[in-house]
Structure 1
Amino acid sequence: MRITYSFFLMAVMIIAIIEFPHLPLHVVTMGLRLMMIFILAIEMILSFKYCLSFFKPPELVKNMGLCVVSVIFTLLLLEAFFMFLPRTHGIGYSLANALWFDRYWKPFNSYGTRDLEPVKNKKTNIIFAGDSFAAGQGIKYIEDRFPDIVRTNLSKINENIQVINLAQTSLDTKSEFDSVKNFIESSGIHPDIIILQYYGNDIDHIAKKFGMRGDGEGFSPYAELNAFTRWILRGSYLFNYLYWMIPSQEVNGYLTYIEKAYADDLIFTEHMNEIVAFNSYAKARNTKFFVVLFPLMLEIELSHKLYLDKITRYLKSKDIESMDLSVLFKDLPISDRIVNGNDAHPSLAVHRLVGEELTRYLSQELSK
């Protein structure tokens, strides 16, 4: 009977792979995992029943064995459950984070961004440049991101307005500038407005250039653990999920790093020169340039001290318009402000507030 169960499940999986050869690798892997969990659970229960009937152990041993089998069976069920529990993580190493991106990080257009396909026949074009904040990490559906809320609202006013989101995860100011230039050259679409979404870690690449420790640099997941524990955590969705619920001291030290980076005048000036160059590029093409500033979502007040106020003053001195977005959601509880307890990207509520505020701003600009 036990062999029949195992062979039946393996046969089903093999037939599925043969009949559907184009199944994504992760689907096949998930299927194999579920099959193994199911086989282990059945084999364990049948083996336990066999031992009880053959050895006839004392009641105490029987009860202890039942407890062990129950615990293992529960862990197997939880493992199967966590295989289908996507959840973003700010660092990005967790298996749940990979599940989330695999399930929700779409659609992609021909330019490789998580957005609709741009068209060339629109009268007014607005480009958003940015990182994972504007790209929508933690936001399941693109229509809930603030650039898309702007798109939806403005299209109700004028169907000839097109909003293009070029934001991608892990970009910095220079790479955001490059992505806009490459898009304009390859698409032939001329933007009327460019909105640069800014976040505190955009200074990282310049800080690294000057020898400072960058965002997440030197961080090695599972480094403090022995080989067996690392193997368990990398292979188990359940234990991997629980491990990444614990904050890392490496990541917690980021505030000290960012304070030093923005306090260094050489680093700060070279970094701001990137935004000035971005603005000059836009002005040369008769395009309005505008910067929207996000705070550290867990430390709004501290963000003003670290970089928001300093950047706002600098941009004003260069006649570059900016908007401090923190005023929109500073009164929200942290739990309502971020995606989840391990991912400090903006929540749905924050995206809605930012989208509505930018809609008001852009409506006024476009009516001039």
Structure 2
Amino acid sequence: MVRIIFLGFIFIFLFYPDKFHVKFDYPGFPQSDSWYVRLAKLAFWLLLIVEILRIFYYGVVKSKAKGLVANIVTITVPLLVTLIFLEIIFMYIPQSHEGVLSKASQIWWEKYWNPVNALGYHDKEVRKESGKKQVLVIGDSFAAGHGLKDVNERFSNILESKLGTDQYNVYNLGMSGADTRDEAKRLKEFPVKPDIVILEYFPNDIEKVGREKGLTLSGAEPYADLKGPMATIVKRFYLPNFIYWQLPHTGFSTFEKFVQTAYTDTTVLHSHLRDLSEMTAYKDSIGAKMYAVFIPFLFQIDKSAGYTKPVEDFLKSKGVTVVGINDGIVKIPEKERVVGKNDGHGSAALNGLIADRLYKAMKKP
């Protein structure tokens, strides 16, 4: 009983620290469990298995207990131990998702999201080097390279290699979840003044403005379809969490309708274009050249190109060179356009296409 009570305290401390205002202090908290926290959880599960087997041995095997209860325990114990071992295994299985929502994606993030520089970007450190053209790539998670295990597969890194590191410095300011307003702010605050700005644009860049203007996206919140104890179990434990995120949730059609409404609502669109004008005004103030790449919904290419056409036309009117990639995307098989079945971010093949098109556009006389 003392051992079980002790394990109960450890269980609460490790799995429900927020209930007792306990906070762990390590990089990545509270997004993911650190290596040390997972090691502590591993030790807990192993100790729990020992106690379960001890109780089973003394309560059933050694005492030679018989009857319905003994039979139920004999069936339940191996099943319970198996589930605990599966929980332990899934504590170490990475899998990228759309965001850092699942526990498997948190493991992926911790394992593959490097380097991260002093400014918080998934990129090299900023270096003060004269004699080179400075290129800043701005955008959201597509620009940041979400889902790519090797940062050298990202279009900004490929582009820098094509341009030549002896003549160009390419910095990536991509940030997951960023919208246009945030991107303009970070562009102006970056310590390097660019000679060239590259904007990666995705149709959901208008989402935050749409929400500010009253548009709603129903069912978009993670775990919104879970109630009661099931929500707690799925959120806090690796095996049920992994299973949950293999299942479909908010439908694409729901999100597509939100985006379509946002781009056709003049109040939302004009507010969004004002945010974009902050970016174009900055590039004009420093005399920088600007390029824009529109990444469409990768399985709804023509539709999303239609939604974002007003933005494309606006950027062209501001002297921005829009680099087309849709004709190249359709030549890439659908499964090869994305990094995985649970993550719709651009694959290495798509990033290679973007880098190639940008390079050709930048080298035009």
Q: TM-score range by the shorter chain?
A: 0.7 to 0.9
Does the residue aligned with 1:344 lie in a helix, a strand or coil? strand
Q: 2 CA distance for matches of 1:162 and 1:249?
A: 40
Does the residue aligned with 2:34 lie in a helix, a strand or coil? helix
Residue type of the alignment partner of 1:346:
G
1:149 matched residue in structure 2 = 158
1:324 matched residue in structure 2 = 324
Aligned counterpart for 2:133 among listed residues 120, 124, 137:
124
1:306 matched residue in structure 2 = 307
Q: 2 CA distance for matches of 1:252 and 1:52?
A: 56
2:184 matched residue in structure 1 = 177
Aligned counterpart for 2:213 among listed residues 210, 217, 229:
210
| Compared CA separation, residues 56 and 23, structure 1 to 2 (3 A) | same
Q: CA deviation at 1:356?
A: 2.7
Instruction: Indicate conservation of the 8 Å contact 1:298/1:344, yes or no.
Output: no
Q: Does 1:333 align with 2:333?
A: yes
1:224-253 deviation per Cα after TM superposition (whole angstroms, max 9, x unaligned): 433211221122100011112222237651
Q: 2 CA distance for matches of 1:193 and 1:356?
A: 16
Q: Which has the higher helix share?
A: 1
Aligned counterpart for 1:201 among listed residues 204, 226, 229:
204
Q: 2 CA distance for matches of 1:318 and 1:141?
A: 35
1:14 matched residue in structure 2 = none
Residue type of the alignment partner of 1:295:
P
Instruction: Indicate conservation of the 8 Å contact 1:90/1:345, yes or no.
Output: yes
Q: 1 CA distance for matches of 2:323 and 2:117?
A: 29
Q: 1 CA distance for matches of 2:113 and 2:73?
A: 45
2:100 matched residue in structure 1 = 92
Within a 5 Å distance, the mapping from 1:179-258 to structure 2 comes to: 179-183=186-190, 187=191, 189-213=192-216, 219-249=220-250, 252-258=253-259
1:32 matched residue in structure 2 = 40
Q: Does 1:79 align with 2:87?
A: yes
Residue type of the alignment partner of 1:325:
I
| Compared CA separation, residues 45 and 306, structure 1 to 2 (3 A) | same
Does the residue aligned with 1:54 lie in a helix, a strand or coil? coil
Q: CA deviation at 1:219?
A: 3.8
Task: Determine what percentage of the aligned residue pairs are the same residue.
Answer: 29
288-297 or 216-225, which moves further after superposition? 216-225
Q: 1 CA distance for matches of 2:39 and 2:117?
A: 29
Instruction: Indicate conservation of the 8 Å contact 2:219/2:225, yes or no.
Output: no
1:282 matched residue in structure 2 = 283
Aligned counterpart for 1:115 among listed residues 113, 117, 123:
123
Residue type of the alignment partner of 2:156:
P
Instruction: Indicate conservation of the 8 Å contact 1:210/1:267, yes or no.
Output: yes
Instruction: Indicate conservation of the 8 Å contact 2:325/2:353, yes or no.
Output: no
Q: Does 1:353 align with 2:361?
A: no
Instruction: Indicate conservation of the 8 Å contact 2:338/2:344, yes or no.
Output: yes
Instruction: Indicate conservation of the 8 Å contact 2:100/2:109, yes or no.
Output: no
2:19 matched residue in structure 1 = none
Cα-Cα RMSD: 2.8
Q: 1 CA distance for matches of 2:171 and 2:141?
A: 15
Q: CA deviation at 1:80?
A: 0.8
Q: CA deviation at 1:293?
A: 0.5
Q: 1 CA distance for matches of 2:134 and 2:225?
A: 50
Q: CA deviation at 1:57?
A: 3.0
Instruction: Indicate conservation of the 8 Å contact 1:295/1:325, yes or no.
Output: no
Q: 2 CA distance for matches of 1:66 and 1:358?
A: 64
| Compared CA separation, residues 332 and 165, structure 1 to 2 (3 A) | same
Q: 1 CA distance for matches of 2:211 and 2:182?
A: 15
1:106 matched residue in structure 2 = 114
1:164 matched residue in structure 2 = 171
Instruction: Indicate conservation of the 8 Å contact 1:52/1:62, yes or no.
Output: no
35-44 or 228-237, which moves further after superposition? 35-44
| Compared CA separation, residues 223 and 172, structure 1 to 2 (3 A) | closer
Q: 2 CA distance for matches of 1:194 and 1:342?
A: 31
Instruction: Indicate conservation of the 8 Å contact 2:99/2:105, yes or no.
Output: no
| Compared CA separation, residues 117 and 196, structure 1 to 2 (3 A) | same
1:110-153 deviation per Cα after TM superposition (whole angstroms, max 9, x unaligned): 22211111222242111101111101111123222110111122
Equivalenced residues, count:
339
Does the residue aligned with 2:331 lie in a helix, a strand or coil? coil
Q: 2 CA distance for matches of 1:91 and 1:112?
A: 17
- Unaligned runs of at least 5 residues, structure 2: 11-24, 28-32
